[in-house]
C-alpha cells in the first residue's frame, strides 16, 4: 500500500460518515436503486456474479456531488434488491491512473477477480484531444473481491493503433473459445468514433486484432462499448458522443453480422433509451440471462439534479434483462426479482386519480391513445394514430430543467409498465421494445397518478 492509497482509505470513509446524515435526510433518496452513499456516481463498472453474489462497481467521487477524480465504489447483493455497500476497491493512487480510475469491466476466473479499467492522466499542456491526455489500459486483481492485490498498466496510448486521438478508454472484457477479448471505445485523430478489439492468451499481453466502425453518422467518440452474443446474434453497444439526438449524447447498439475478429457489418443503430437520463450501460451474464445496468444520468446535460445540494447525485437503473426480438432488436425488461417489491395490487380506473406512495409500479394494456400524469406535472402521452409517444414536464421544478422527449413506436402500444422510485421513473413500452428513463423530483409524500384512456393496476413498492 502506498501513502496515497493509505490516505484515501482513511479519508473516503471519513467523508462518508460526515455527509451521510445530511444525505440520508433527503426525501429524494431512492429506495431500490443503487446510489452513492455521498457524492457523485456515474458509469456502472465491473458487473459480474461470483457464486451467489452479484457485484456492481461504479464510478464514484465521494468528495464532490458535482463530480471529481473518480474511483471504483462497490456494492454486492444476492437478490438484486438489497445492496450492501463495500469499501471502495480501486483508488487513483498510481502514476498511471493518478487523475482517475475510469470505467472498465471484470472477469472472474480460478478464484481471482480481474478488473480491467482506464487509468486517466490529464497533462497541463495540450488540447486534451490529440495531445495532453493519456488513457492507459490498466489491470487490478483481487482474490477476495474486496481488496486489491496487484495493479499494473498493460497498455499506454503509444501502444494503440496509429491515427487515434488520446481518447481510448472503457475496456469491456470476456473469455471465448479459449482466448480473451476486450473492446475499448476510441476517437480517431480526425474525429470519428470507433471500437478497438484486442485479443490475448493470458489476460496480460494484448494485441489489436480489429476495429469496428460504420459510415453511419454516429459521432466523434464511442464511449463504454460492450460486445456480446445473445441467442445467436452479436450486438455492439456504445454511448456515442457527437451524434445527433435529443439528449446531449446518445446511447444504443448495433446488431453485428459476421465475425467481430474479421469481416463484419454493423446494422442500424438503435437507441436503448429515449428518456432524459440514461448513459454508459454495461451488461453481463449471470449464467442464466443477460442483465444490464445503466447510469440514470447524462453527462454535460443542461438540466440538473437538486439532490446535489443535499450532498449526492445520480443513481443506476434497475437491473434489466436483455432479450433478442425477432427483428434482431433488443428488448429490455425489469429483472424478475423486482416483482418481490410489490405490495397489494390496487385498481386504477380510466380517467380517475389514485394517490400512492412515492415508490410504485403501474401496468396497463392500452388499446388506443392514453395519457399518464404523475405528480401533476410529468405527462406521458401516446397517440394511436401516429404511434408517437411524448414524455414532458409541465411543472418546471418537477423536472429540474427537463422539458420533453418523444419517439415513434414501430408497433401500436399494447403494453405499458412504469417503475417509480422516490426520484425516478423507468417506463417500458411493448415489453421493453422502447424505454424511457428520467429523474424527477416530486414534493415529499404521496404521489397522485392519473391514467386517461385505459384502466391500469398499481402496486406500492417497498423493500420488506
Convert the pLDDT of each residue in 70-100 to its tens digit: 999 999 999 999 999 999 999 999 999 999 9
Residues 201, 300, single domain; the answer is yes
Percent of the chain beyond pLDDT 90? 97
Do residues 283 and 181 share a domain? yes
Report residue 23's pLDDT band, with 50, 70 and 90 as the boundaries: very high
Task: Answer yes or no: 43 catalytic.
Answer: yes
Q: How does residue 146 score in pLDDT terms, banded at 50, 70 and 90?
A: very high
Residue 2 reports pLDDT greater than 90: no
pLDDT tens for each residue of 416-457: 999 999 999 999 999 999 999 999 999 999 999 999 999 999
Instruction: Give tens-digit pLDDT for 322-346.
Output: 999 999 999 999 999 999 999 999 9
Same domain, yes or no: 67 and 193: yes
Element (H, E) at 4: helix 3-24
Is there a single domain that holds both residue 169 and residue 282?
Answer: yes
* Extended beta strands in 304-365, E state: 312-313, 320-324, 330-334, 346-348, 353-356, 360-364
Averaged pLDDT, 44-62? 98
pLDDT tier, 204 (very low <50, low <70, confident <90, very high otherwise): very high
Q: What is the pLDDT of residue 39?
A: 98
Domain end point (choices 329, 358, 390)? 329
Query: In total, how many domains does the chain have?
Result: 2
Among 329, 364, 384, where does a domain finish? 329
Full residue range of the structural domain in which residue 360 is found: 333-460
Q: Are residues 8 and 60 in the same domain?
A: yes
Residues whose CB is less than 8 angstroms from the CB of residue 315 and which lie 6 or more positions away in sequence, other chains included: 30, 33, 34, 35, 36, 41, 296, 297, 424
Catalytic residue among 7, 43, 93, 395: 43
pLDDT value at 237 more than 80: yes
Is the CB of residue 224 less than 8 Å from the CB of residue 170? yes
Q: Decide if pLDDT at 5 tops 90.
A: no
CATH of the domain at 372: 2.60.120.560
pLDDT score at 206: 99
Rounded percentage of the chain residues whose pLDDT exceeds 70: 100
* 292 and 380 together in one domain: no
204 and 164 together in one domain:
yes
The number of beta carbons lying within 10 Å of the beta carbon of residue 49 is 18
Amino acid at each position: 500500500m502506498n501513502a496515497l492509497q493509505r490516505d484515501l482509505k482513511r479519508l473516503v470513509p471519513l467523508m462518508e460518515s460526515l455527509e451521510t446524515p445530511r444525505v440520508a435526510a433527503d426525501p429524494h433518496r431512492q429506495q431500490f436503486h443503487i446510489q452513492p452513499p455521498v457524492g457523485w456516481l456515474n458509469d456502472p463498472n465491473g458487473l459480474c456474479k461470483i457464486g451467489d453474489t452479484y457485484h456492481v462497481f461504479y464510478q464514484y467521487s465521494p468528495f464532490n456531488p458535482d463530480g471529481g477524480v473518480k474511483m471504483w465504489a462497490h456494492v454486492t447483493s444476492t437478490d438484486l434488491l438489497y445492496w450492501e455497500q463495500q469499501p471502495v476497491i480501486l483508488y487513483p493512487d498510481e502514476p498511471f491512473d493518478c487523475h482517475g480510475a475510469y470505467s472498465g469491466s471484470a472477469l472472474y476466473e480460478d478464484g481471482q477477480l480481474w478488473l480491467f479499467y482506464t487509468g486517466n492522466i490529464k497533462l497541463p499542456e495540450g488540447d486534451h484531444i490529440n495531445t495532453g491526455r493519456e488513457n492507459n489500459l490498466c489491470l487490478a486483481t483481487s482474490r477476495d473481491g474486496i481488496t486489491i492485490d496487484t495493479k499494473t498498466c498493460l497498455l499506454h496510448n503509444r501502444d494503440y493503433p496509429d491515427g487515434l486521438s488520446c481518447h481510448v478508454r472503457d475496456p469491456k472484457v470476456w473469455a471465448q473459445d479459449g482466448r480473451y477479448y476486450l473492446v475499448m471505445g476510441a476517437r480517431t485523430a480526425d474525429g470519428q468514433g470507433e471500437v478497438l478489439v484486442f485479443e490475448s492468451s493470458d489476460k496480460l499481453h494484448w494485441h489489436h486484432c480489429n476495429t469496428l466502425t460504420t459510415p453511419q453518422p454516429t459521432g466523434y467518440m464511442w464511449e463504454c462499448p460492450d460486445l456480446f452474443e445473445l441467442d445467436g446474434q452479436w450486438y455492439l453497444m456504445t454511448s456515442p458522443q457527437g451524434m445527433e439526438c435529443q439528449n446531449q449524447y446518445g446511447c444504443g447498439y448495433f446488431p453485428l453480422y459476421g465475425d467481430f475478429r474479421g469481416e463484419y457489418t454493423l446494422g442500424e443503430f438503435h437507441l436503448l433509451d429515449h428518456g432524459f437520463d440514461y448513459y454508459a450501460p454495461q451488461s453481463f451474464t449471470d449464467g442464466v440471462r443477460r442483465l444490464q445496468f445503466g447510469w440514470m444520468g447524462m453527462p454535460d446535460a443542461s438540466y440538473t439534479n437538486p439532490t446535489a445540494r443535499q450532498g449526492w447525485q445520480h443513481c443506476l437503473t434497475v437491473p434489466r434483462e436483455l432479450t433478442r426480438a425477432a427483428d434482431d432488436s433488443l428488448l429490455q425488461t425489469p429483472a424478475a426479482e423486482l416483482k418481490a417489491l410489490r405490495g397489494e395490487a390496487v385498481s386504477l380506473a380510466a380517467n380517475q386519480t389514485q394517490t400512492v406512495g412515492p415508490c410504485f409500479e403501474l401496468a396497463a394494456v392500452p388499446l388506443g391513445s392514453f395519457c399518464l400524469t404523475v405528480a401533476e406535472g410529468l405527462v406521458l402521452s401516446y397517440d394511436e394514430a401516429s404511434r408517437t409517444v411524448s414524455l414532458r414536464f409541465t411543472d418546471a421544478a418537477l423536472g429540474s430543467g427537463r422539458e420533453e422527449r418523444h419517439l415513434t413506436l414501430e408497433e401500436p402500444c399494447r403494453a405499458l409498465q412504469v417503475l417509480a422510485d422516490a426520484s425516478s421513473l423507468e417506463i417500458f413500452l411493448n415489453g421493453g421494445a422502447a424505454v424511457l428513463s428520467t429523474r424527477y423530483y416530486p414534493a415529499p409524500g404521496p404521489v397522485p397518478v392519473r391514467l386517461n384512456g385505459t384502466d391500469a393496476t398499481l402496486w406500492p413498492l417497498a423493500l420488506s
